Amino acid sequence: MFSAADIEAVHAAALRVLARTGVLVQDDEAVALLRSRGARCDGRRVFLDKGAVTAALAATPSSFVLGGRSPERDLMVGRRAVYGTGSGPAFVLSGDGLRRGRLDDARAAAKLCHCSSVIDFNGDAVEPLDLPEERRTRLSTHARLTLSDKAVEWIASVDDDLDAAIGINEILFGADWHSRPRALIVLNTNSPLQISSETARLLLRWARLGQPSCVTACVMGGTTGPATFAGTLVVQHAEVLASLVLAQAAGEGSPFIYGGVSTMSDLRTGAASFGTPEFAHLAEATALLANHCGLPVRAGAAVTDAHVPDGQAALESTLGLSAGARAGADFVLQSAGILSSFNAFSLEKFIMDEELVTGLCAVAEPAATDEDALAEDVIGSVGPAGDYLSQAHTRRHARDLARPTTLVREAYEKWRADGGVDFRAALAREVARRLDEHEPPDDLDPLVRRQLDDYCLG
């Protein structure tokens, strides 16, 4: 939808907006820091010239390794797609109805992530509203850290969240835990053209520690942005670039992920629709804009406006997730489990989306063309009208394409004889199996585990 010239036009327009219109930065320390770096400020309205953006882009790494609990759990961000669970919904699908999220839902999501072969990153999948707010972050983080050894999204809404992240990382990795990228937080701009006091303050703290931040804009075309694709992208791009300048002013060289989950509003109702081709178009453009700037990018998501994991959910999630992956997204948060326009989480939808991610990973895998793969000797040996099934070459490669799946692959008669289970029932059955078979990691030193328990649960 967007050519290279189109992407350059959006980038240039965003630079003009930053210089002429500016952004509202709702934190005095952040404004003072930008002013000290040469930005023109009118109260909290900050104007950034092209030079400030160019310098920030030059200082930001195009890729980084997010350190894991073991070298095997390190994640390279910026070279291949990293897929993360859903993040942030306060509601959970139970049967065909929604209810408030609970800690046991967050625990179940962490277990599914741990068992997955394609979901790399354990997001804050469910907001456990059954816990008091002052204990919620520590208890839900403890669940994700003890039920899985995969990287986690560190919750970042208020300063107490980052205090907890620092305390827990010191327990896990020691006082110098921040000597390398260890803890990724996800922050959001406020459209149009605003950086809230919370986002600015948390971004400053994390960048000074050299830790990665993914700053994401969610512009809704027609309501919080212009009613055109290009105009919506200009607002998104300006917001994220302003956040980048602030991050590099606080901690030069700190890792930064360009995030965009913008969409177009339904102007009949004013509601934002995420399961649409428009979301997919903007996801692809987001990846192209970040690539144009040389930044790692969060784009695309397995999102849907459907309220149950049905055909609509599958169609819309395929649109949103494949668009970002096809355009080169490096970090795909919300890639498993999301329903109801980001508002609900479903364990069954997690399994559905995992099937989609598995397919995208397989499609992205380059095909071999070495001597064995070309198989000229085998073709010559079998000849016209021959049979490859009995060949040693076939036996060697028999499991190359095997992968576990909940999808129906057998003939109709066998499927019917086995009970004729429909897809949604198969998803529920797979959830139950995985939760029953889950084994938590045992990599934590006993002393570290006791300190983690005392800090989070005490």
pLDDT digits (tens, 9 = 90+) for 70-107: 999 999 999 889 999 999 999 999 988 999 999 999 99
Which residues neighbour 307 within 8 Å (Cβ) at sequence distance 6 or greater?
93, 98, 339, 340, 344
Residue 157: is it exposed, middle or buried by C-beta count within 10 angstroms (0-12/13-18/19+)?
middle
Q: Residue type for 72, please? A: E
pLDDT at 410: 86
Q: How far apart are CA 99 and CA 90, in angstroms?
A: 9
- In the 8-state DSSP scheme, what is residue 190? B
Distances in Å between the Cα of 50 and the Cα atoms of 14, 18, 25, 34, 38 are 10, 8, 18, 14, 12
Going by pLDDT thresholds of 50, 70 and 90, the confidence category of residue 218 is: very high
pLDDT at 366: 87
pLDDT at 268: 84
Which residues neighbour 298 within 8 Å (Cβ) at sequence distance 6 or greater?
214, 216, 257, 258, 259, 260, 261, 329, 330, 331, 332, 333
Q: Which helix (H) or strand (E) holds 169?
A: helix 159-173
Pair of tokens at residue 302: 């397995």
pLDDT at 233: 98
Share of the chain above pLDDT 70, in %: 100
pTM (2 d.p.): 0.94
Pair of tokens at residue 402: 């095997």
Q: What is the pLDDT of residues 129-183, one digit of tens each?
A: 999 999 999 999 999 999 999 999 999 999 999 999 999 999 999 999 999 999 9
First-to-final CA distance of the chain: 53
Strands (E), 110-212: 121-122, 151-154, 184-188, 194-195
- In the 8-state DSSP scheme, what is residue 318? H
Q: How far apart are CA 26 and CA 279, in angstroms?
A: 28
Distances in Å between the Cα of 232 and the Cα atoms of 2, 262, 299 are 13, 8, 15
Long-range CB contacts (< 8 A, 24+ apart) of 312-315?
A: 312/275, 313/275, 313/339, 313/349, 313/352, 314/352, 314/356, 315/275
Q: Are 337 and 126 in contact (CB under 8 A)?
A: no
Distances in Å between the Cα of 390 and the Cα atoms of 4, 7, 398 are 50, 53, 11
pLDDT at 402: 82
**Residue whose structure tokens are 């469910």:** 126
Q: What is the pLDDT of residues 349-396, one digit of tens each?
A: 999 999 999 999 988 888 899 999 999 999 999 999 999 999 999 999
Going by pLDDT thresholds of 50, 70 and 90, the confidence category of residue 267 is: confident
Q: Are 323 and 41 in contact (CB under 8 A)?
A: no
Pair of tokens at residue 41: 């400020």
> What SS3 state is found at 228?
coil
Say if residue 1's pLDDT is above 90.
no
Task: Give the rounded distance of the alpha carbon of 416 from its chain centre.
Answer: 38
Q: Domain 58-364 class?
A: alpha beta
Q: What is the pLDDT of residues 31-59, one digit of tens each?
A: 999 999 999 999 999 999 999 999 999 99
Exposure pattern of 171-183 as b/e (b: 16+ CB <10 Å)?
bbbeeebbeebbb
Domain boundaries of the chain, sorted by first residue: 58-364
Q: How far apart are CA 24 and CA 191, in angstroms?
A: 10
Phi, psi torsion values for 58, nearest 5 degrees: -65, -30
pLDDT at 389: 92
Q: Are 427 and 309 in contact (CB under 8 A)?
A: yes
pLDDT at 405: 87
